[in-house]
Amino acid sequence: MRECCDMRGFLSFIVLRLISKKNMSGEDIRKEMKKRKGAKPSPGTIYPVLKALSESGFIQEVKDSGKEKKYKLTKKGQKELKAATRKFCEIFYDMKEEFGRFC
């Protein structure tokens, strides 16, 4: 069974989607989610997800000159994101037009 598609809620899916657009740190993800949703998730919410995604081989740390760890999607992560997006579309089929290019 795919790990990302079985996630509690869609947090892992959201994190993968955000990292797929550009390399991001946990703090970058928290800020982006605040910008989009109005609430900034706690570090205790985001960092365990990053750890799990990293341990699953979906993301990997990128060497960066800053102090924060930044992550990028791996090839395995790209495949997982594609599968999770399809699953998302299956669940929310009535929204398929909005996500058509991903499904």
pLDDT number for residue 36:
83
Identify the helix (H) or strand (E) that includes residue 22: none
- Please name the residues in contact with 80: beta carbons below 8 A apart, sequence gap of 6 or more: 2, 3, 4, 16, 56, 58
What was the pLDDT predicted at 103? 58
pLDDT value of position 62 = 92
- pLDDT number for residue 98: 66
The one-letter amino acid code at 96 reads K
Spell out the domain ranges in the chain: 4-99
Helix H segments across 1-74? 11-21, 26-37, 43-55
pLDDT of residue 54: 95
Which fold, 4-99? Arc Repressor Mutant, subunit A (1.10.10)
> Please, which residues bridge with residue 60 across strands?
72
Per-residue tens of pLDDT for the chain, all 103 residues: 344 444 455 889 999 999 999 999 999 999 999 988 788 888 899 999 999 999 999 999 998 777 888 999 999 999 999 998 888 777 776 666 666 666 5
Q: So what's the pLDDT on residue 96?
A: 60
Q: For position 3, what pLDDT does the model report?
A: 46
Are the beta carbons of 36 and 89 closer than 8 angstroms?
no
- Cα angle at 31 between 41 and 40, to 5 degrees? 25
Distance CA 43, CA 34 (A): 13
